[in-house]
Amino acid sequence: MNDLSPADRRIVNRLNAELSAIAVPPRQTHALGYQGSPLRSFSSLLRQLLPAVGARRLSVAVAVLALLLVPVGVAVAQGGLANVIPVFIRQPVEGLRFVLSPPTTVESDAALQRLLSFPLWVPSDLPCAGPNQRIYDAATRSASFVYQCLAVTERSSETTFRPVVDAGTLEEVSINGLPGYYYQTTVVMPTTGKGQTSATLVFEREGTLVTLVPLPQHASRDAPEVLLGKADLIRIAASMTRVHAQ
Amino acid sequence: MDAQELVWPAALNDDGLYRRIFRALIAVGASTDEASDALQEAYEQILQQKAPPDRIDGWLFVVAQRRWRRQRLRRRLFAPLAAARAQSVKAHEKGTVLSEVAKLPMRQRQVFVARHVLGLTNDETARALGIASGTVSATNHHALQVLRERLGGDS
């Protein structure tokens, strides 16, 4: 702290003053008594609500709400109100339009980095050639690298990303001590009606959400083979290095 | 049970320590709810340690930060859409040092906060984050340089 210049000291003092103005919630010392923040604790909200409103009034309110909602639920379950409450899609959707914006192909890693506001990462330990393509998608503000055996997609970790995950496949893994998720996704091809399963490793690194998807190798036309397994993806993720814009 | 075992958990009752690490977590980018949850989990974890770490504050900061990043990634990926959108809303006002610190890369944020909010030395920061002391010094220097440039004369 003593080696700071006056300008740096002013910055640090300002930061600590701003932090001091933030109210620290009271600490709950006993681990078992901790109910979690409102973010993840609904039961504590109920416990606060109960004495404030009164058990009798609360039960009357719940009963009235149930009386109102049960007929709606029954109607929806029987297929009524299908146009009013879009809960279940019973028929194939027709007339849905996709607006495709053509992605831009970029010549170098540095050029791709210059288009993005988040740091770009590339694998340094990959058992195949590439990248064959570097793509910038302005619509999603994401970047993709297509290697011979792997597709890498990167976007800002501030954006929302909600993958469809096959039941029971989600697994938390550790990449250099940081968390990542490995899961599988099955897509039914509309042309053949066959399901195609692919694996994904997703992790965050310094403000970037990175997804790695192994690509099948078409050794023969009928039996494409995926060469990269979970351990390979984790090793590749650990080897990723930052791209510099220069 | 020796004297050290009796004394070191008592250090965890220091509310000042709790507040300092809570604010350090806010400075690296956690919301108040996320900081509460992550810090509580770090306290639970430190109670399972047999011996005190070198610097309790450094240890708690690093572990709580790891917990927070894991929670944040999980929420971003799997929380309902509305909740995820609410999560991405920046809490800090523009023009504050906090908002500028939030724009730094994660490693610079970690080092800067460990040095200047927690008050760890270069060597203590290096041990807590598992990096070289020279890297701490260079990263801290770079973070300060960026903040000086961005905050200009009004700092």
Record: contact B26-A8, CB cut-off 8 A? no
Record: contact B37-A37, CB cut-off 8 A? yes
Q: How far is CA A90 from CA A71, A78, A84, A93, in A?
A: 20, 12, 14, 9
Q: How many residues can be counted in chain A? A: 246
Instruction: Enter the pTM of the model.
Output: 0.51
Record: contact B26-A15, CB cut-off 8 A? no
Chain B contact set for A185 (CB, 8 A): none
Q: Nearest by CB to B36, which of A22, A25, A204?
A: A25
Those residues whose C-beta lies under 8 Å from the C-beta of residue B108, and which sit 6 or more positions away, are B139, B140, B142, B143, B146
Question: Within an 8 Å CB–CB cutoff, is residue A38 touching chain B?
Answer: yes
Question: Within an 8 Å CB–CB cutoff, is residue A2 touching chain B?
Answer: no
Record: contact B23-A178, CB cut-off 8 A? no
Instruction: Report residue A88's pLDDT band, with 50, 70 and 90 as the boundaries.
Output: very low
**Mean predicted lDDT score pLDDT of chain B:** 80
Pairing of strands A133-137, A142-146: antiparallel
What CATH architecture does domain B3-154 belong to? Up-down Bundle (1.20)
Chain B contact set for A37 (CB, 8 A): 32-34, 36-37
Question: Within an 8 Å CB–CB cutoff, is residue A242 touching chain B?
Answer: no
Q: What is the 3-state secondary structure (H, E, C) of chain A?
A: CCCCCHHHHHHHHHHHHHHHCCCCCCCCCCCCCCCCCCCCCCHHHHHHHHHHHCHHHHHHHHHHHHHHHHHHHHHHHCCCCCCCCCCCCCCCCCCCCCCCCCCEECCCHHHHHHCCCCCCEECCCCCCCCCCEEEEECCCCEEEEECCCEEEEEEECCCCCCCCCCCCCCEEEEECCEEEEEEEEEEECCCCCCEEEEEEEEEEECCEEEEEEECEECCCCCCCEECCCHHHHHHHHHCCEECCCC
The per-residue pLDDT for range B4-47, each reduced to its tens digit, is: 444 566 677 777 888 899 999 999 888 888 888 888 888 888 87
In one-letter notation, the amino acid at residue A1 is M
Question: Within an 8 Å CB–CB cutoff, is residue B141 touching chain A?
Answer: no
Q: Which of B46, B106, B10, B97 is nearest to B114 (CA)?
A: B106
B44: closest chain A residue by CA: A31
Q: Which of B96, B100, B57 is nearest to A17 (CA)?
A: B96
When comparing pLDDT for B142 and B155, which is higher? B142
A:168-187 residues touching chain B, CB 8 A cutoff: 172, 177-179, 181
Name residue, tokens 């509580």.
B40
Q: How far is CA A138 from CA A104, A115, A116, in A?
A: 8, 9, 10
Ramachandran class of A176: left when φ > 0, alpha when ψ lies in -120 to 50, beta otherwise:
left
Question: Within an 8 Å CB–CB cutoff, is residue B146 touching chain A?
Answer: no
Q: Which of B97, B108, B122 to mutate to test the interface with A (most CBs of A within 10 A)?
A: B97
**CB B32 within 8 Å of CB B98:** no
Instruction: Using a pLDDT cut of 90, give the percent of chain A over it.
Output: 25
Q: Where are the domains of chain B?
A: 3-154
The per-residue pLDDT for range A116-132, each reduced to its tens digit, is: 989 999 999 888 888 98
Q: How far is CA B4 from CA A144, B13, B52, B88, in A?
A: 54, 15, 8, 43
- From CA A128, how far away is CA B72, in angstroms rounded? 33
Chain B contact set for A200 (CB, 8 A): none
- From CA B98, how far away is CA B43, in angstroms rounded? 25
pLDDT for A51 equals 66
Report CA Rg, chain B. 17
Nearest Cα of chain B lies from the Cα of A6 at a distance, in angstroms, of 10
B94: pLDDT strictly greater than 90: no
Q: Which of A192, A193, A203 is nearest to A230 (CA)?
A: A203
pLDDT for A73 equals 73
